[in-house]
C-alpha cells in the first residue's frame, strides 16, 4: 500500500475513534456535566443577585434566570411590617393578626440565639404544624371558602437528591441554604439566603428548575449519520491535503535519486523544499550527501585521469633508457664494434638502469595508496637546513650560494614527511636548473615557503610545468618529476603551489592555506 493510501486509512480509523469518543461523551458524560454546571451556575447567580440586592434594595438592575420566582424580604428587628421586593413588584406586608406575631418572633429568636454566625442545622421547625396554622388563618371555620389541604409525601412525586440540603457560608453575615429534589425530567432547587444586619434581617428566595439532558439524547442519536458523513468528508479532504504535503517532497527526493542514478556522472540538481520539518531536513542532508558524492566523483575522475597521464608519460619516458640499455647489452653480448669494450660501456648501462630505477621509485611512491596524513606542528628552519645539508654535494659541485631568510620559530601544521618531499623537490629543482656560481634565495614564514633561483623557462612550458616528465631544460638529464611530486603532495595537504618566471628569475611559492 502506498503512503497516500496508508494515510487515508489511518485517517479514517482515527475518525471512527473520534466519533465513538464524542458519541460516548455526549451520551454518558455530558448530561451529568451539564447538570453539575447548571446547578453551580444557578447558585452563583443567586448569590450575586442577593449581594446586589443588599446594595441596591431593588431588583430593577438584577439579572437572574427565572426572575419571577425571585423574592426578597426585609424583616425589621422590631415590628411586623415586612418589605417585599421582586422582579415585578416592590411593596410592604403588614402582619396585623397577632396570631402570626409569635412565628415572626420565633424566627428572630432563632437568629439571635446563634450570634453573628447563624447555624441552621440545629434549628428544628415543624413544617406540617406551620402549614396547618397558615391554612387556619387563610380559611377560618366561618370563611365562605373552606380549604382542606393535607401535606403529602413529596417522595411519591420527587426523588430526593443524594444530598438534599447544602449550606454555604458566603460571609460572616450571610448564609445560603440550597435544597434540591428531582424527578425523572428535572432538578428542582430552592435557594434561601439570610443576611443578618444590625437593625434588620434580609431573606432572599429563588426557585429554579434544571432540566436533564435526557430529552436531547434522541436528537443526538438521530444526528449521528449526518455527523459521521461530515466527519468522513472532512477526513477525506484533509487527508488528501496532508498526503499531498507529505508525499510531494518525497516524490521530489525520489526523482532526484532516480536522476542521479541514471546520470552518467551522478549529477543531480539540489532539491528545494521549504519549511523546517523533518522532510526539509532530510532534503538538506541528501543535498549535502549528493554534493559530497559529486566532489568525490570529480576527485576520483581527476585521479584516474592523472594516473592515466602519468602511466602514459612514464611508459614513454622509460622507453629511452630501456632502449639504450638493450642496445648496449646486445652490443656487448655480440661484441659488435666499439661495444666490445665492456669496461667502458657497462658503467653506461648501469647509469641507464639507475635512471629507470629512479623513475620507477617515483612512480611507486606516487601511485601507492594515499598514506594516512598525520598532522603536527613542524618547525620550518631545521627542516629546510636538513634538506640543504643533504644536498651539499650538488650545491658545492656547482658552487651555488644559498641564502635563507626566515624566523627560527616559523611553523606549519602539516604532515612532516609529505612536507619534506615538497620542499626537497623544490630545492633540488632549483639547484639542478641554476647555473654554476649562481645564488638561490629561500624565504619561509608561518604563511608559506618561497624559493628564487636564476633561470629561464620557455613560455610554452609554463602552463604544463607541474605535469609529469616536463623539464624546463633539455640539456639537463632529469626525468621531470620533481615539480609534479611537489604539486601532488601540496594538493594532498591542501596547500597552494605556484611558479612564476619574471625576467631571468624563477620564483616558486608554497602557501600554507590550511593554517
More confident residue, 174 or 239: 174
289 and 256 Cβ atoms separated by less than 8 Å: no
Same domain, 378 and 325: no
Over pLDDT 90: what percentage of the chain?
20
Query: Is residue 280's pLDDT more than 50?
Result: yes
Report d(CA 32, CA 24) in Å as an integer: 13
Report d(CA 232, CA 12) in Å as an integer: 7
Query: Is residue 268's pLDDT more than 50?
Result: yes
DSSP-H helix ranges across 276-404: 278-334, 342-367, 380-390, 392-397
Report d(CA 344, CA 352) in Å as an integer: 14
More confident residue, 118 or 242: 242
State residue 245's pLDDT score: 73
Same domain, 356 and 395: no
Mean pLDDT computed over 26-34: 75
Query: Is residue 44's pLDDT more than 60?
Result: yes
Same domain, 333 and 471: no
In a domain, 333, yes or no: yes
For residue 409, the enclosing domain spans 373-515
Report d(CA 22, CA 490) in Å as an integer: 73
More confident residue, 372 or 423: 423
Query: Is residue 442's pLDDT more than 60?
Result: yes
In a domain, 55, yes or no: no
**Residue 507 belongs to domain with CATH number:** 3.30.565.10
The most distant pair of C-alpha atoms in the chain lies apart, rounded to whole Å, by: 178
Mean pLDDT computed over 194-221: 82
Q: Which long-range contacts (CB under 8 A, 24 or more apart) does 499-505 make?
A: 499/462, 499/465, 499/466, 501/455, 501/456, 501/457, 501/462, 504/454, 504/455, 504/456, 505/452, 505/453, 505/454, 505/455
How do strand 376-379 and strand 411-414 relate by DSSP bridges?
Answer: antiparallel
pTM of the model: 0.42
In a domain, 51, yes or no: no
Same domain, 37 and 162: no
Count: domains in the chain: 4
Report d(CA 443, CA 134) in Å as an integer: 126
pLDDT 10s digits, 458-500: 887 877 787 766 665 544 445 556 788 788 888 888 899 999 9
Same domain, 414 and 468: yes
C-alpha cell belonging to residue 182: 428531582
Same domain, 209 and 177: yes
Query: Is residue 377's pLDDT more than 90?
Result: yes
Radius of gyration for the chain, computed over Cα atoms and rounded to the nearest angstrom: 55
- Residue 424 confidence class, pLDDT cut points 50, 70, 90: confident
Same domain, 188 and 161: yes
Q: Which long-range contacts (CB under 8 A, 24 or more apart) does 112-116 make?
A: 116/172, 116/173, 116/196
Amino acid at each position: 500500500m502506498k503512503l497516500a493510501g496508508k494515510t487515508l486509512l489511518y485517517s479514517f480509523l482515527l475518525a471512527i475513534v473520534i466519533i465513538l469518543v464524542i458519541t460516548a461523551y455526549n451520551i454518558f458524560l455530558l448530561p451529568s456535566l451539564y447538570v453539575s454546571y447548571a446547578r453551580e451556575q444557578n447558585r452563583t447567580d443567586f448569590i450575586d443577585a442577593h449581594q446586589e440586592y443588599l446594595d441596591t434594595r431593588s431588583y430593577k438592575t438584577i439579572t437572574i434566570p427565572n426572575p419571577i420566582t425571585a423574592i426578597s424580604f426585609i424583616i425589621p428587628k422590631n415590628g411586623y411590617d415586612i418589605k417585599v421586593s421582586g422582579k415585578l413588584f416592590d411593596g410592604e406586608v403588614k402582619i396585623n393578626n397577632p396570631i402570626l406575631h409569635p412565628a415572626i418572633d420565633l424566627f428572630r429568636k432563632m437568629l439571635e440565639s446563634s450570634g453573628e454566625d447563624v447555624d441552621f442545622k440545629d434549628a428544628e421547625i415543624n413544617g406540617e404544624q406551620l402549614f396547618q396554622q397558615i391554612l387556619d388563618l387563610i380559611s377560618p371555620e366561618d370563611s365562605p371558602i373552606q380549604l382542606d389541604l393535607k401535606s403529602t409525601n413529596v417522595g411519591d412525586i420527587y426523588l430526593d437528591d443524594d444530598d438534599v440540603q447544602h449550606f454555604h457560608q458566603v460571609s460572616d453575615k450571610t448564609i445560603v441554604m440550597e435544597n434540591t429534589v428531582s424527578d425523572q425530567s428535572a432538578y428542582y432547587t430552592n435557594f434561601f439566603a439570610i443576611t443578618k444586619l444590625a437593625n434588620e434581617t434580609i431573606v432572599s428566595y429563588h426557585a429554579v428548575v434544571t432540566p436533564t439532558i435526557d430529552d436531547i439524547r434522541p436528537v443526538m442519536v438521530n444526528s449521528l449519520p449526518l455527523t459521521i458523513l461530515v466527519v468522513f468528508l472532512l477526513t477525506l479532504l484533509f487527508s488528501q491535503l496532508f498526503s499531498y504535503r507529505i508525499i510531494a517532497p518525497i516524490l521530489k527526493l525520489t526523482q532526484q535519486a532516480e536522476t542521479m542514478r541514471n546520470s552518467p556522472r551522478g549529477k543531480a540538481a539540489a532539491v528545494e523544499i521549504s519549511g523546517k520539518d523533518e522532510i526539509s531536513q532530510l532534503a538538506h542532508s541528501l543535498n549535502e550527501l549528493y554534493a559530497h558524492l559529486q566532489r568525490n566523483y570529480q576527485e576520483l575522475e581527476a585521479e584516474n585521469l592523472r594516473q592515466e597521464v602519468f602511466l602514459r608519460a612514464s611508459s614513454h619516458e622509460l622507453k629511452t633508457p630501456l632502449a639504450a640499455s638493450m642496445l648496449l647489452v646486445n652490443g656487448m653480448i655480440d661484441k659488435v664494434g666499439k661495444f666490445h669494450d665492456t669496461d667502458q660501456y657497462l658503467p653506461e648501462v648501469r647509469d641507464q638502469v639507475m635512471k629507470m630505477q629512479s623513475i620507477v621509485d617515483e612512480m611507486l611512491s606516487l601511485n601507492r595508496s594515499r598514506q594516512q596524513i598525520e598532522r603536527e606542528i613542524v618547525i620550518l628552519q631545521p627542516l629546510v637546513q636538513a634538506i640543504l645539508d643533504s644536498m651539499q654535494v650538488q650545491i658545492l659541485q656547482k658552487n651555488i650560494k644559498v641564502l635563507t631568510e626566515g624566523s627560527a620559530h616559523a611553523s606549519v601544521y602539516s604532515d612532516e614527511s609529505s612536507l619534506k618531499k615538497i620542499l626537497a623537490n623544490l630545492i633540488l629543482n632549483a639547484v639542478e636548473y641554476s647555473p654554476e656560481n649562481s645564488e638561490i634565495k629561500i624565504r619561509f614564514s608561518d604563511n608559506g615557503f618561497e624559493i628564487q633561483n636564476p633561470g629561464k623557462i620557455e613560455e610554452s612550458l609554463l602552463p604544463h610545468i607541474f605535469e609529469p616528465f616536463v623539464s624546463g631544460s633539455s640539456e639537463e638529464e632529469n626525468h621531470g618529476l620533481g615539480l609534479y611530486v611537489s604539486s601532488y603532495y601540496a594538493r594532498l595537504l591542501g596547500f597552494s603551489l605556484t611558479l612564476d618566471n619574471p625576467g631571468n628569475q624563477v620564483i616558486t611559492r608554497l602557501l600554507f592555506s590550511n593554517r
